[in-house]
Amino acid sequence: MGTSATPTWMVQVVSDDVHCSACCGSGDEPAPATPSDASPGAFAYTIGLHDRGSPELHLWARPTEGDDPGADWSFSAQDMAQTLNELAELVLAGRLSAGSTHTESYDAGDATVTFRLGEAVEREQVDAFGADPAAVVLPVRWSLHRPPPGELGPADLGMVGLCREMLLGLAPRPSRVALLPASWRSDALDFDPHGDHGPMTPLVRGIAAAVVGGGPDQQARFLLECASGYTTGTSAGHVLAMVRAAARRSGRLGGVDRLDEEVEELVGAVVEDGSWPAVVAAATDALGPWPTASDDLAGLLRRGLLAALSTAVVRDVADRELLLAGTGPFRWSRSGSVGAPPEFLAPESVVRAVAEVLGHLRARELPELLTRHHVACGDVRYLDAVAHLQGLAVTDATSVDTIDAVLPRPVARRARRDRVVGPTWTWAALLVGAACAASADPRRLSLELTDALCAPYDDLVPGLRRLLTSGRDRRP
């Protein structure tokens, strides 16, 4: 479903443990997308459709119809907000009404949801007390349809070889990390399908050791990548939804479920260790201090570890989208300051398009470009664009490996001569990321962010704005 306009209504999300406005047009912060923010009693409803002459809409987090109760599948707070917004647009357009049905696919086609709009009821019947007293509400009933769970079997042999190589390159080894539970301190490369977390158990243990035993600087880098990627790019909640779909197909849901409790123990060991204050200090040096930083960062560590380790459980059967989003914060936290992990490189067609736009640059213009980038970073609008694109890059393939990929040879040579390869790579990767976002989906790079990004370079790189805006329906 796609949105065609900024909503004039809002969505209220209510549950046993979540009471928030998931802000669609309201100006509030979005509701968090976590696997636990939709309790069995969670629901959401619109506020403001009545002002448009339409009934309000109400949606439960779990299925209300059908044979699949969705014990392990539900809409998060953010999911409910987005779904109600999109259904509301269809209602306002006259394409849905009481009695109508609408079907959507989720989890790369592994799950299908059929929505059915019920007959109008009074707001009190569905606890939509925030709606106008004169409003009526259409309950959105829905059923979940999924194939039966797959059988647990061995890992893909080709992937086992790659995982062995990856594990041999990770440090420290599980056996050397005292903070790990005893059952995790095994260096065995035994990819037995009946391991604690299925056939990929050695990879799960290896990544846990690399994060938990990586020391304060490495842990802080991991947290910063999680904060960036899972805020702007693919959410950790969506990663876990994709993981569960892959685990269901491969018979590994048990291995994923065990991580829910075990990750708590891993996080507790890190937080209670004497080096945790140094982790918090390093993270807040980059993000800025706030009163609840230690607790918030511990929660972020839990979400990030759960996403990374859950993805490892299904590493050999995961699709590209899941691998990028699930491994992104971990892979980027261990990469160098220049260049990108190979799987995160942008499509060649996009890189060529950016290289063409930058093809006229002269070596003498490089200092001016970098100066403008530095000055522009003092503008909050430009910083928002930079943060947005850097977040997308953590969970998607939008980067470049070298400055030579997009810059004319004389410019790249001067960057090396002047020892400014790092800043030059950051600037070039920013433009490639913007081009990737604009070409993939106009909603990923708004008109406002595009303008902020292009304005400092309109005279030096006039083709950049055309590249990011031409041929697409642009909207803020």
pLDDT tens-place values along the chain, 476 residues long: 444 456 789 999 997 543 333 333 333 333 333 333 444 579 999 999 999 999 999 999 999 999 999 888 889 888 899 999 999 999 999 999 999 999 999 887 889 999 999 999 999 999 999 999 999 999 999 999 998 999 999 998 888 998 999 998 899 999 999 999 999 999 999 999 999 999 999 999 999 999 999 999 999 999 999 999 998 888 898 899 899 999 999 999 999 999 988 999 999 999 999 999 999 999 999 999 999 999 999 999 999 999 999 999 999 999 999 999 999 999 999 987 788 899 999 999 999 999 999 999 999 999 999 999 999 999 999 999 999 999 999 999 999 999 999 999 999 999 999 999 999 999 999 999 999 999 877 678 888 999 999 999 999 999 999 999 875 544 33
| Residue 87 sits in the same domain as residue 114 | yes
Is residue 419, in this structure, part of any structural domain at all? yes
Percent with pLDDT over 90 in the chain: 79
- How far apart CA 234 and CA 373 sit, in angstroms, is 27
| Residue 266 sits in the same domain as residue 195 | yes
Is residue 368, in this structure, part of any structural domain at all? yes
Which DSSP symbol is given to 460? T
Query: Given 273, 308, 333, which residue is the final one in a domain?
Result: 333
| Residue 347 sits in the same domain as residue 278 | no
| Residue 120 sits in the same domain as residue 187 | no
| Residue 138 sits in the same domain as residue 237 | no
Query: Given 309, 333, 357, which residue is the final one in a domain?
Result: 333
Contact 392, 344 (CB under 8 A): no
Name the burial class of residue 277, with classes exposed (0-12), middle (13-18) and buried (19+) by CB atoms within 10 angstroms of its CB: exposed
Is residue 427, in this structure, part of any structural domain at all? yes
**Helix ranges (DSSP H) in 314-457:** 320-333, 348-357, 366-376, 380-395, 409-417, 421-440, 447-454
- Return the SS3 of 328: helix
| Residue 168 sits in the same domain as residue 308 | yes
| Residue 177 sits in the same domain as residue 325 | yes
Is residue 1, in this structure, part of any structural domain at all? no
| Residue 298 sits in the same domain as residue 382 | no
- How far apart CA 153 and CA 70 sit, in angstroms, is 24
| Residue 349 sits in the same domain as residue 328 | no
Is residue 2, in this structure, part of any structural domain at all? no
| Residue 130 sits in the same domain as residue 21 | yes
* Structural domain span for residue 453: 342-469
| Residue 357 sits in the same domain as residue 253 | no
Is residue 476, in this structure, part of any structural domain at all? no
pTM over 0.85: no
- Return the SS3 of 194: coil
* Torsions phi, psi for 193 (to 5 deg): -60, -20
| Residue 374 sits in the same domain as residue 460 | yes
Query: Given 281, 299, 333, which residue is the final one in a domain?
Result: 333
Contact 203, 187 (CB under 8 A): no
Give the number of domains in the chain. 3
Question: CB neighbours (10 Å) of residue 329?
Answer: 31
Is residue 5, in this structure, part of any structural domain at all? no
Is residue 98, in this structure, part of any structural domain at all? yes
